[in-house]
């Protein structure tokens, strides 16, 4: 058993509490990882606020990179000392989604009806004598974590972990939504709702795919300079207009955009993103985590005319196969990650990090 520091979330709407936790050794087909760097993602905050329902107490965090400390029985693909990225979408290689060329959401995921446990129904974390839940099979807000062998990717030993940790969620999710899920084509027009780290990664994906117009939308105009630096051709703030934003976008483009992306996690912007894409062949992709218990009511004529409405988890990438390749592409400078990193803080300042996230900084 390893004793180390972790940020425990004891209950909803409370700050993270830095505690000493006990981390059990990995069981068969499990891997124990020393976390070197972890990103802060809005999905972690959604658990704190109740928008994403998970059992408490819990160790959050799912966007990280680290070094393997030990492996359980039967683990052959990974050894101690390997640099790795934990995968919140595992890849078991055996379920229908893993076997299909069209899917990536492995049935072994713990996203939907979340248990907060490892595959055997138990946890590897204890704090003050209490069992602490895992978060989507990763739990990276801790100095050591345990993940299943199907939920970890070995990466280039030369990769800078404090940067490639973003490939564990934010970058891959956004970039893949454009190049994998939507399959944006050269010369097409795109609209991106929400310019956080994931939204900016969508912008990068649209640019890499050769889109001719990339319209970035956010109610925080402070985000526009960086969006333009990463490829946005125009930036608009819905607060600057009297009319609904989808009408503004249709006017700007004539018929609506070829591809739209909702990268916020709000039902009103999901409906706007659908309405702003071309009525016959437009494609709208939901990337932001939908809020718990909320429904969308929309006019079915929007879909009857031919639009496609789809979702994307982890950018549509098959995680174990794609993450090492994305890290290799980063090492070859095929894309940048630095602009997505605004602050680097010591682990004990995690609450300050979340304050920066919540204030849009």
Q: Is 62 a catalytic site residue?
A: yes
Angle at CA 65, nearest 5°, toward 58 and 69?
Answer: 85
Between 52 and 65, where is the model more confident? 65
Are 201 and 171 spatial neighbours (Cβ–Cβ below 8 Å)?
yes
DSSP letter for 25, please. P
Helix, strand and coil content of the chain, in percent to the nearest 5, comes to 30, 20, 45
Catalytic site residue from 24, 46, 134, 165: 46
CATH architecture of 2-170+316-359: Alpha-Beta Complex (3.90)
**Of 330, 111, 353, 312, which is closest to residue 202 (Cα–Cα)?**
312
CATH ID of 182-311, from 3.90.420.10, 3.40.50.720, 3.40.50.2300, 1.10.1060.10: 3.40.50.720
The pLDDT tens digits of the residues spanning 177-214 come to 999 999 999 999 999 999 999 999 999 999 999 999 99
Question: Residues 24, 43, 235, 284: which is the catalytic one?
Answer: 43
Domains 2-170+316-359 and 182-311 share a fold: no
Q: Is 46 a catalytic residue?
A: yes
Cβ contacts of 63 within 8 Å, gap of 6 or more: 38, 39, 40, 41, 140, 165, 166, 168, 169, 170
Provide the pairing of β-strand 213-217 with 189-193: parallel
- Residue 133 DSSP label: B
The phi, psi pair for 169, rounded to 5°, reads: -160, -75
The CA distance from 173 to 244, in Å, is: 27
Name the catalytic one among 92, 165, 169, 277: 169
CA–CA gap between residue 116 and residue 139 (Å, rounded): 10
Q: What is the pLDDT of residue 13?
A: 96
pLDDT tens-digit map of 278-323? 999 999 999 999 888 899 999 999 999 999 999 999 999 999 999 9
Is the distance from CB of 165 to CB of 63 less than 8 angstroms? yes
Mean pLDDT (the chain, rounded): 97
**What tokens appear for 323 in the block?**
């993450």
Are 287 and 273 a contacting pair, CB within 8 Å?
A: no
pLDDT digits (tens, 9 = 90+) for 72-120: 999 999 999 999 999 999 999 999 999 999 999 999 999 888 899 999 9
Spatial CB neighbours of 276, under 8 Å, sequence gap ≥ 6? 191, 245, 246, 249, 250, 256, 257, 260, 282, 284
* Environment class of 341 (CB within 10 Å of its CB; exposed 0-12, middle 13-18, buried 19+): middle
**Domain range list for the chain:** 2-170+316-359, 182-311
169 assigned to active site? yes
């Amino acid at each position: 058993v390893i004793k180390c520091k972790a940020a425990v979330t004891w209950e909803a709407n409370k700050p993270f509490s830095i505690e000493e936790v006990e981390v059990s050794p990995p069981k068969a087909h499990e891997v124990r990882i020393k976390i070197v760097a972890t990103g802060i993602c809005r999905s972690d905050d959604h658990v704190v606020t109740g928008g994403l329902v998970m059992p408490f107490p819990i160790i959050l965090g799912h966007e990280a990179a680290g070094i393997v400390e030990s492996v359980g029985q039967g683990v052959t693909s990974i050894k101690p000392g390997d640099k790795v990225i934990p995968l919140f979408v595992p890849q078991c290689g055996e379920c229908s989604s893993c076997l299909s060329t069209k899917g990536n959401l492995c049935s072994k995921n713990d996203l939907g009806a979340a248990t907060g446990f490892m595959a055997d129904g138990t946890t590897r974390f204890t704090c003050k004598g209490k069992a602490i839940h895992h978060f989507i099979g990763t739990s990276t807000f801790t100095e050591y974590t345990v993940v299943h062998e199907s939920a970890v990717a070995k990466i280039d030993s030369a990769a800078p972990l404090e940067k490639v940790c973003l490939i564990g969620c934010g970058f891959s999710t956004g970039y893949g939504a454009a190049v994998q899920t939507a399959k944006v084509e050269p010369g097409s027009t795109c609209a991106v709702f929400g310019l956080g780290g994931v939204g900016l990664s969508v912008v990068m994906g649209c640019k890499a795919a050769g889109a001719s117009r990339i319209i970035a939308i956010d109610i925080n105009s402070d985000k526009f300079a960086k969006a333009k630096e990463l490829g946005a051709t125009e930036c608009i703030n819905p607060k600057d207009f009297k009319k609904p934003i989808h009408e503004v976008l249709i006017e700007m483009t004539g018929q609506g955009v070829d591809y739209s992306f909702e990268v916020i996690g709000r039902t009103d912007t999901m409906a706007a993103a659908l309405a702003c894409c071309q009525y016959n062949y437009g494609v709208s992709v939901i990337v932001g985590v939908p809020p718990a218990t909320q429904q969308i009511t929309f006019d079915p004529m929007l879909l009857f005319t031919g639009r496609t409405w789809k979702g994307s988890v982890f950018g549509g990438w098959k995680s174990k196969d794609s993450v090492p390749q994305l890290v290799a592409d980063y090492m070859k400078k095929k894309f940048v990650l630095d602009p997505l990193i605004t602050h680097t803080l010591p682990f004990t300042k995690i609450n300050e990090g979340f304050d920066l996230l919540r204030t849009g900084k």
